[in-house]
Amino acid sequence: MSESANTHAAPARGRLFGVGVGPGDPELLTLKATRAIHDADVIAYPSARHGKSVARRIAAPYLRADHLEVLLRFPVTTELTSHPGGYEAALFGFYDEASEELAVHLDAGRDVAILCEGDPFFYGSYMYFHERLAPRYETTVIPAVTAFSAAAAAAGTPLVKRDDVFMALPGTLPQEQLAERLASADAAVVMKLGRTFPKVVAAAAEAGVAERGVYVERASAPEQRIEALEEVEGRVPYMSLVLIPTTQVHEKAVAATSGSVAVVGLGPAGPQWLTPEAKAELAEADELVGYKTYVDRVPGRVGQNRHATDNRVEGERARHALELAAAGRRVAVVSSGDPGIFAMAAAVMEQLEEGGAEFRGVDVRVVPGLSAMQAAAARAGAPLGHDFCVLSLSDVLKPWEVIERRLDAIGAADLALAIYNPRSKTRPTQLEEARAVLLRHRAPATPVVLARAVGAPSETITITTLGEFDAEAVDMRTLLLVGSSQTRVFGDGNGAGPARVYTPRRYPA
């Protein structure tokens, strides 16, 4: 008899299945998942130390009486451990040992299905077995309905629409990070609650999204619980989550009979200076109203109407926005910089007051933006580091005599000064007149920052003096920062480092 005839063929190795069983309702399992469970030789499922497995309970209708079952009992969940390597080491040791236990079945030719609550690759425990076993065995991962999908359906709360940005966050993040990310997302879900719940609630409140938060516990299971986030008291289980649905579908946003107006600051230039709050308002608006240059800075969106007008019709523009809102529309009025500084917020308030009953019920909000003076000051250093004043040189809406009187008072008070609207084609001489007034009180060597087109590709920052700055080089895109008697300049832009301007926080006695 030949040697080959005496050799027994090695059994074929088994196949590994990572099976997502969904959030709780057995009827939410996919056909592929039920087939994989039924056909497998070995069914493995995780559980806490008490030995009860939620994943097995969900899959129970599809189990065979002759299945080999392997309980994967976690040594710890959230409690302390005596393991010398701590919590992480205890869990990694468990996954190593459990994977080798399953490998024995796979090497013997048995197909193994590891059950996983929710989706295997969405915060699922299965992925740790996958890392250890998938490189060695033929593997199929079967996706499932996620807990947050089931929670949204159970709560009757659409999560995202149109161009919304959705975030999935673990409640284990530090509160400051949670708040920051919740504030920047259009919609979100926070998983992994339990002991983290008070921190998650505080972060949602800090981010200004708590009132539209929805708490969902064991979505789609018989013990399902749904409540408004702000109404939940006491301890909550780990298997719960918080939904922060899009503002577009939040019931408080759609319940009002009238629409709303948000006066939104775009910042000086560029999307890097747009706040998350402003971005959200622009994305949700049905109507976009503003000076054409500013409207053009906002990315277009399908279904959003844009009303771009000339810069000299602020009152008409504000009234149009309020009329649209009174008809039930959600309106965003855009301004460069901060809308409350020489911009559209005051114009909207004027029309709101004059309209009286016509606009009663219209929700008007001002969404702040980074101002041009803040951006310009940051470029130069800290010229506004002590008391300062802000003044517009435009005499379109106030007499020049008032401007001159205020300049004189500012000079006498020794305040640093931010000057908006310094010079235009129709006002070519007033900047020189303003310099003359200030020179009554300030030395010609007083530092001056000329900041033109801050944030744009053509940005220029010039550090000069009150006596020497070139008024002819100044236009409506330039903002002036005039120092006080205490403002200092150091560095020269060459070997001594970049020139920096700052006004000390202390004033001499």
Please answer whether residues 224 and 217 qualify as being in contact, where contact means their C-beta atoms are separated by less than 8 angstroms: yes
- Position 229 scores a pLDDT of 93
122: three-class secondary structure by DSSP: coil
Query: Which of 251, 270, 287 finishes a domain?
Result: 251
DSSP string covering 443-485: -TT-EEEEEESTTSTT-EEEEEETTT--GGG--TTEEEEE--T
Selection from 14, 12, 20, 50 nearest residue 114 by Cα = 20
Backbone torsions φ then ψ of 357, nearest 5 degrees: -65, -25
Tokens encoding 151: 């929670």
Q: Do 234 and 317 lie in a common domain?
A: no
Number of separate domains in the chain: 4
Q: Do 167 and 154 lie in a common domain?
A: yes
| CATH, residue 307 | 3.40.1010.10
Residue 118 lies in a domain: yes
- Position 34 scores a pLDDT of 96
The continuous run of DSSP H or E covering 427 comes out as: none
Q: Do 206 and 302 lie in a common domain?
A: no
Domain containing 294 equals 257-367
Residue 158 lies in a domain: yes
DSSP string covering 133-174: HTTTS-EEEE----HHHHHHHHHT-----TT--EEEEETTS-
Structure-token match 């087109």, residue found: 453
Residue 9 lies in a domain: no
Would you give the DSSP letter of residue 497? B
- Position 89 scores a pLDDT of 67
Residue 420 lies in a domain: yes
Which residues lie across from 114 on neighbouring strands? 18, 44
- Position 4 scores a pLDDT of 40
Residue 11 lies in a domain: no
Q: Do 341 and 396 lie in a common domain?
A: no
Q: Do 205 and 265 lie in a common domain?
A: no
Rounded to an integer, what distance in angstroms lies between the CA atom of residue 60 and that of residue 26? 8
Selection from 89, 43, 45, 48 nearest residue 64 by Cα = 43
Let me know if 334 is exposed, middle or buried by CB neighbors in 10 A (0-12, 13-18, 19+): buried
Residue ranges for the chain with pLDDT beneath 70? 1-11, 49-51, 76-90, 248-258, 493-496
Rounded to an integer, what distance in angstroms lies between the CA atom of residue 320 and that of residue 302? 21
39: three-class secondary structure by DSSP: helix
Rounded to an integer, what distance in angstroms lies between the CA atom of residue 265 and that of residue 371? 8
Would you give the DSSP letter of residue 337? B
Q: Do 378 and 316 lie in a common domain?
A: no
Q: Do 378 and 458 lie in a common domain?
A: yes
Beta strands, E only, 266-346: 287-291, 305-309, 330-335
- Position 258 scores a pLDDT of 62
**Does the model's pTM come out above 0.85?**
no
Structure-token match 């550090």, residue found: 463
Q: Do 162 and 120 lie in a common domain?
A: no
Residue 7 lies in a domain: no
- In sequence order, the 6+-apart residues with CB closer than 8 A to the CB of 509 are none
Q: Do 66 and 136 lie in a common domain?
A: yes
| CATH, residue 191 | 3.30.950.10
Q: Do 238 and 301 lie in a common domain?
A: no
Model pLDDT for residues 152-170, shown as the tens digit of each residue: 998 888 888 877 889 999 9
Query: Which of 320, 339, 367 finishes a domain?
Result: 367
Please answer whether residues 450 and 418 qualify as being in contact, where contact means their C-beta atoms are separated by less than 8 angstroms: no
Q: Do 25 and 122 lie in a common domain?
A: yes
Residue 398 lies in a domain: yes
Residue 439 lies in a domain: yes
CA distances from 493 to 13, 79, 161, 246 (A): 71, 58, 50, 48
Backbone torsions φ then ψ of 57, nearest 5 degrees: -60, -40
Q: Do 382 and 488 lie in a common domain?
A: yes
Selection from 204, 138, 153 nearest residue 177 by Cα = 204
Query: Which of 317, 339, 367 finishes a domain?
Result: 367
